[in-house]
Amino acid sequence: MRSLCSWTHEPQVETRFGYIGDGHDNGNRYRDNAVKTSKYTWYNFLFLNLFGQFRRVANVYFLIQGVIMYIGWYYPYIYQSPVHPWSTIGTLAFVLLVTLAKDVFEDIDRHRSDRRENRKLFTVVRNGKEIEIQSRRIQVGDWVKVRNREQFPADLVAVLTSDTNGQLFVETANIDGETNLKIRKPVKDFVDADIVPTSLPVGLSSFECDLPNKHIHHFNCTITCGSRKFAVSTENFLLRGSVLRNTSWIYGFVVYTGKDTKVMKNMTKAPSKMSRIEHTVNKIIFVIFMTQLILVVVSVAFSITINNNGREDTLAGGDGDSTIFPFWLAQCFSFFILYGQMVPISLYVTMELINVAQGYAINHDSKMMYMEDPGDPESIIKPECKDSKLCQEIGQIQYVFSDKTGTLTRNVMEFKKCAVDGQVFPNLESASKALRTKKTVNIDLFFRLLSTCHTVIPDYVNPEVTFESPELKYSNLLEYINFEAESPDEGALVQAAYKAGIAFVHRTPGKIVLLSEGQDEKVVYEILAINSFDSTRKRMSVIVRDSCGDIFLLCKGADSVIFEGSCDSTETKGLYDTILSSFANEGLRTLLVAVRRLTKDEFEAWNHKYKQAELEINNRDKALANVAAEIERDMNIIGATAIEDKLQEGVPETISKLADAGVKLWVLTGDKMETAINIGYSSEILTKEMRVFKLRCDSKDELESRLAELERLVDIANSSKLFSCVSGCFKFSRFEKQSEQQDVKSTLLTDVELALNFSPTIQPLDEQGNPEDDHHSFSSGSTENSEPCSKSIFAIVIDGNTFKFVSENAQLRRRFLRIGKLCKSVIACRVSPAQKAEFVGFFKHKVTLAIGDGANDVSMIQAARIGVGIKGKEGRQAVNASDFAIGQFRYLQRLLLLHGRWNYMRMAKVILLAFYKNAALVFTLFLYNFVALMSGVSLYDSFVYAGFNFFSGMPLLLLGIFDKDIGGETMLNIPAFYGVGREGTRLNFEKMLEWMSRGFVTALIVTSIPLLSYAKDLGVPTYCDQSNDISGIQAYGTFVYTALFFAVMYVIALETQTWNLVYLFFFVGSYAFYFLVLSTLSSLIDAYPEYFFVGIYVVGSPYFWVHSILIATMVFLLEFSWKFRRLMFFPTALDIAVEIDHGHTKYSNIQSLKEMLSQKRKRLY
């Protein structure tokens, strides 16, 4: 054991300081290791839950109404309530209890999970002994032992490992879903490798590290032991929740515990998202509330005019008692209570249940299930709805922001081409042949670099076979080794090098071993330093020493940074630039590889700076990047690689259908501009009919000039005031005089030709706005005799550096977004994760969807209104942050065009019908009170009145689950019907006003006919055998109420487009339930004497049945005639599609409808 001496240290404020091995002392200053994911405790549950529920406007509204009703009912000397308070309070309590019970069960599960996690046993070293303690007892500074396949209980720094090569392997699938193993190392030279674990030092050394933060890929720490310092970085850091693999045991000391661990820091609440429909409902409720106040004001005004203060009348009711409030104020309260059902109290519960059912339908859509391995049923990836309240939001998407790699493409990389010493090899076979024949000077070095400069781990399938085993041969290598790569690109390059003839077989922190084809002897390279890859550096390099003692810097990275660090001639750089452009034009991902030979003095001088940078805490990453940049220069480029990431199945078709649906797609990727453009064409994000503008500027002034010119051209091409392009012809309508038309046309034609080229075979523009050369063209044939374009379609491709100017300048941002919104598609290349989120943030007032598969897409997914994660090869971080998860991009068309649209249409119909029936209910009371001289009396029994939403609730609920206007095949054939939701045409103030008006008409019919029958003494039930006249009102009210119930059910039936046995059963059952409740209330002489025998008497009257059915039929015929007129004389394309689906039209199929749409201009919906 090395001697450890005493030390003194003054900790910095911005860092965490602690004693190693002395958890008790540190524990007094830092959090314990307990985790808490539960939302409530026993003492705050009721308060927090109710507080959350009363954030809903409707719940507050009904609470206030219930209090007002309670006062008016039990303290009538203040003012009188015409409705029993418990009819509203009881219903509200039921709604609150349902939500409360759901939250209780969810939180109980969280509490159980927390207890299991906090009570797990782990081994720690205390007082020279290994003891087992619960996870929650672990403290900062404790020595912890973790065995193979155990999780790390806290964030640790590794100091000892059982591996003889001084390394350990971890799996982070619990954190990011990545199952590939990652190499970690113990802190070098801090303790002897052969130390007895129980003799680990206690209190003799300290650590100083970053304050707790959520950056899981960054960790800076320094260990101090006397005058000696040891650098600790991410390669020594072990995250809580990750699992030790392929290593018997490790020891480490704790730096972060509990909520301070990086995983817990990342467990922030997902952004609270409220759907567009919920926003609309809240606004509608406000309008409904204002309507209710108007009814109250009108009623009070009439009541004051009539001055009816307690008139004794069968229809008026009232007892004439005075109140302490002025008459007008008492009437305000009475009418406010009377019209309280204007807002359906059960609407939110109905919406939540529908959301759950719609989420279930998405989760179990068999046509959205993706099987990765056709022979393995367990490899099925199912769709996942993680936030059911957004099920309708996916039917209203206006913009889709998509990642490219792993989202549009498969993220299965295949080595396609390479270039060595300027010579292009069209495939791996030709390169392998050149390697065997030594055709080029650096071909051997090229593939050795690919086998050496990486972070791939060789995972031996059989633990008895190692790289030193005699049975391990080049020919049978893949039988014993699986290559675990953090990135598919690296895996593809290592696999390519193996197939070419140079195989990577083993690595330790200090060496890497290669095996060449046809040679039994293995080649060992000593690893002297590694400069890791990150999105800022865009390169990785490794410094190695070969068996001859020569030192080399091996580097691979993006062309921009490799060119910058190259000492090659301009001709050589130009040659490789041309080669890379040709690769990129084929849609391939490219890298450059370069080498530099170092002298021993150069390396040692640089290594000294490297060691100093490692000891930095606050700016270590920047310091290491600066030091790496010093050595990554004067390099010689020896070759280039080209990897293909093929498109996923169905991507072009999906993008085409989304475009037809009016959804604009923006692709945000880190690839080169040329690669992004070619993927754009192959995926049909870009089409040959588009004019593609490329924005790649070096200054703000240059960008401003380009945007001004593009804005002018786009405005000209899209201005309907100046011209419209129909069938290839311009029609000017702004100017009346022929001479003026000719002047305008001649003036504009040059600009328009520049913008559009009037050709279906259009080339992209270069940076100056001119057509590019032939080798960039994606068209064929001449454009001289082409027909004019039928419409102007534009697309923009912008790079990350140019976007910086856009994001930093508000004026440029507004101009860019204005142009972008007029374009069909936008592609942003070379953008960082933060820039992706910034792009999405520009459209916060639109309904946006972001879709991605990797950790670098999380910020974009969370910034969008809807986040969709692809369950792919990049882990589960995108899925964990998303609202929906699917297996392939192609399933987006079913998710949006089918489920999204259906869900929007259903929910919109449910909301409108809910407000319609409640409006009709309240309007009957309003109209009746004109007859009752605005006395404020209720026509309906309190509990029957409150039960209206329950009697008619099941048909609405099932309509929101099952209803479909058109089938899936029809929708996918005419995606333009998606615009119904995208434009919000089915739920808006106009629709609300329409249905409120229909509710008033229904109420007018339902109220007037019984009144006329009563006036003519046609046998309307008015049971008056009891000692008070209220029973007469209740009998008459029950009659009117039933007629209204029948009428509303008829209207619901008329609006239902999908009937099945379940729906039919509950539809008929709603009638049975209503009459069951009616008869039950009529039988409760002790519990509810005021309604005793009323319902039974009314139902037993033949006039009741005749009038109820007659009234409901009249309402039905009125609604039917209005619908018939619209469908017969003013049908839309959507109406015709519905009729085709039901077989009720002359158009035999959807294709004939599409032909009709192409020949005639008809409103879609």
Residues with a catalytic annotation lie at 403
Q: Is 131 helix (H, G, I), strand (E, B) or coil?
A: strand
CB 135 within 8 A of CB 116: no
How many other CB atoms sit within 10 Å of the CB of residue 132?
A: 10
Amino acid 986 reads R
CA distance linking residue 56 with residue 64, whole number of Å: 13
Tokens found for residue 712 = 């002018």
- Which residues, in sequence order, are CB contacts of 588 under 8 Å at separation 6+? 416, 417, 642, 643, 644, 675
* Closest-CA residue to 513 (of 589, 458, 442): 458
Quote the radius of gyration of the chain (alpha carbons, Å): 37
Torsion angle of the four alpha carbons 523, 528, 532, 538, in this order, in degrees rounded to the nearest 10: -80
Distance, in Å, from the CA atom of 352 to the CA atom of 899, rounded to the nearest integer, reads 17
Instruction: List Cβ<8 Å contacts ≥24 apart for 193-199.
Output: 193/160, 193/166, 195/1, 195/160, 197/125, 197/130, 197/143, 197/145, 197/160, 197/251, 198/125, 198/128, 198/129, 198/130, 199/1, 199/128
Instruction: Specify whether the CB–CB gap between 183 and 455 falls below 8 A.
Output: yes
Task: Determine if residue 583 is left, alpha or beta; phi over 0 gives left, psi from -120 to 50 gives alpha, anything else beta.
Answer: alpha
Burial class (CB in 10 A: 0-12, 13-18, 19+), 284: buried
Spatial separation of the C-alpha atoms in residues 556 and 641, rounded to whole Å: 10
Three-state SS string over 807-840 comes to HHCHHHHHHHHHHHHHCCEEEEECCCHHHHHHHH
Question: Phi-psi category of 479—alpha, beta or left, where left has phi over 0 and alpha has psi -120 to 50?
Answer: alpha
Axis-axis angle for helices 1133-1142, 1102-1129 (nearest 10): 120
Least Cα distance to 170 among 457, 441, 413, 411 occurs for: 457
Reported residue count of the chain is: 1165
Owner of token pair 């954030």: 55
Angle (nearest 5°) at CA 735 between 732 and 736 = 105
Backbone angles phi, psi at 122, to 5 degrees: -135, 155
Supply the DSSP string of 194-248, one letter for each residue.
T--GGG---SS-EEEEEPS-S-TT---EEEEETTEEEEE-GGGEE-TT-EEES-S
Q: How many CB atoms lie within 10 A of CB 600?
A: 11
The strand pair at 664-668 and 423-425 is best described as unpaired
Residue keyed to tokens 């459209």: 843
Packing angle, helices 327-338 and 276-306, rounded to 10? 140
**CA 759 – CA 785 distance, rounded (Å):** 9
Q: To 10 degrees, the CA torsion angle through 501, 506, 511, 513?
A: -30
H/E segment holding residue 24: helix 23-27
Q: Which amino acid is at 869?
A: G
**H/E run at residue 1121:** helix 1102-1129
Instruction: State both tokens at 489.
Output: 């690109």
Backbone angles phi, psi at 72, to 5 degrees: -70, -30
